[in-house]
Structure 1
Amino acid sequence: MQIQIRFIPEQTAYLGPELRPHFLLEKWKIRGSALAAFVGPCEVKTGDLVDWEDRLENDFIRAKLMVHFLGEFFGISLSEGVLYQRLFMATAGAEISRATGKPVSRDGDDLFWFDGKDPRKLSVSIVTASPVSVLLHAGINLDAAGAPVKAAGLFDLGMRGLNPSDSTAPSSAESEPITALVMRILELFQAEVASIEWACAKVRPVV
């Protein structure tokens, strides 16, 4: 599978209903399997969660500012989508650790930073299926203000490049540290998916 990647310059809030089939095509004219990144606040109410474990606990998701990764993949199963999700989060965690010099750990589909006292949650993530595709949302906190759990963001880890006071999307040279990180995560995931496809295509059958 060849997936397209794109970093959207316009700020866009993530509220939950964006996790639907063909949203990337409808909103940004991105065709086929793709992973798009954008910056914006996050406010997902309980009724818009697709994770039943969280819904039953009346949980919600909130952060002042996140980098959102929204993906749609055609022709794969939900199980494969969960594996894509774990691969993506492992890639993102490794790159955040490399970029910041801070230890970032992964537990399932969640990323954490240990601030010397307690683990602080860096991310949210979910995968679900639609009638035509598998859908992924992963949000990495920039400014975790308002989160319902002990959380941290990339600003807390010392990263800069987005102005936390006005929450503008990346647009200038000073944005390079975070925008470079986001692009590298997108490119590495794209390369991993292409490598998986080639690994399947290059082997001879054994009977």
Structure 2
Amino acid sequence: MQYLKWEDGNEYDGSQINPSWAFQEFGVKDSTIVSWLGPMNILGKNLIDYEDVGLDIKGNMMLNFIVEHFDEQPGSLRLAYHRQRMLVMITRDKLLDYGIKTTQDGDDIFINNKKLSVSIATASISSMKMHFALNITVDGTPEDVETSALEDNGMTIEQIHQLQDSIAETYIETIETIEKDIVKTKVF
């Protein structure tokens, strides 16, 4: 699995959740975690979650992650959601390193009951995908949702970039150690 940092400033519009996006964008023939800082404005045609139809899913500045796994065909939606929860838990652990205490409800992270994250998982014939993002600022977030942000909790851009790398590297390490455990385990 490879970690790629996309140029900061690119907008997440939902099209990046399509299968093989990292291959088409970067030419990478591997499972990937791609991350960048940029705005989010998911267009209606790119909404995946039926509960989100008609809602505004946006923010002026987000820490975005796109994860794609090619280790099972067809992709398992169940496994994609398990991995998404794992990414959420890794993120919560890493935020504690910066003194930021959070709570979790499903795939959502909250600070003082205010929503910090957005996330979706999906599967296709060829892969499993996730988008996960944290608000860097509350600017541009939907007015009907109480939101929190990393900058409101004292994080600088330099610290956010450190957090970005730490989350991605820990996620890859976790996936790799699971694969090693599978190989060394006697089955009956």
2:116 aligns to what?
Answer: 122
Report Cα offsets for 1:145-185 as digits up to 9, x if no partner: 12221101110111012xxxxxxxxxxxxx2x111111011
- On the 8 A contact 1:49/1:60 being kept in 2, the answer is no
Greater Rg, structure 1 or structure 2? 1
- Give matches, 1:168-187, under 5 Å: 175=158, 177-187=159-169
- On the 8 A contact 1:105/1:113 being kept in 2, the answer is yes
2:179 aligns to what?
Answer: 197
Give TM-score scaled by structure 2 length.
Answer: 0.92
Matched, 1:78 2:74: no
Task: Tell me how far apart the structure 1 counterparts of residues 25 and 125 of structure 2 sit (CA, whole Å).
Answer: 19
1:25 aligns to what?
Answer: 23
- Consecutive unaligned residues of structure 2, counting only runs of 5 or more, are none
Report Cα offsets for 1:121-152 as digits up to 9, x if no partner: 01000001122111110011101212221101
1:131 aligns to what?
Answer: 125
Task: Tell me how far apart the structure 1 counterparts of residues 68 and 126 of structure 2 sit (CA, whole Å).
Answer: 10
Task: Tell me how far apart the structure 1 counterparts of residues 96 and 58 of structure 2 sit (CA, whole Å).
Answer: 23
- Give matches, 1:8-19, under 5 Å: 8-19=6-17
Task: Tell me how far apart the structure 1 counterparts of residues 31 and 141 of structure 2 sit (CA, whole Å).
Answer: 31
Give TM-score scaled by structure 1 length.
Answer: 0.84
**Shift of residue 75, structure 1, vs aligned partner:** 2.5
Question: Aligned-residue CA RMSD in angstroms?
Answer: 1.3
Report Cα offsets for 1:82-115 as digits up to 9, x if no partner: 111000011011111222x12111111000001x
Question: Would you identify which runs of 4 or more consecutive aligned residues in structure 1 move more than 4 Å?
Answer: none
Identity %: 28
Amino acid at match of 1:125: S
SS in 1 for 2:16: coil
1:170 aligns to what?
Answer: none
Amino acid at match of 2:134: I
Amino acid at match of 1:73: H
- Aligned pair count reads 183
- On the 8 A contact 1:39/1:67 being kept in 2, the answer is yes
2:65 aligns to what?
Answer: 69
**Shift of residue 25, structure 1, vs aligned partner:** 1.2
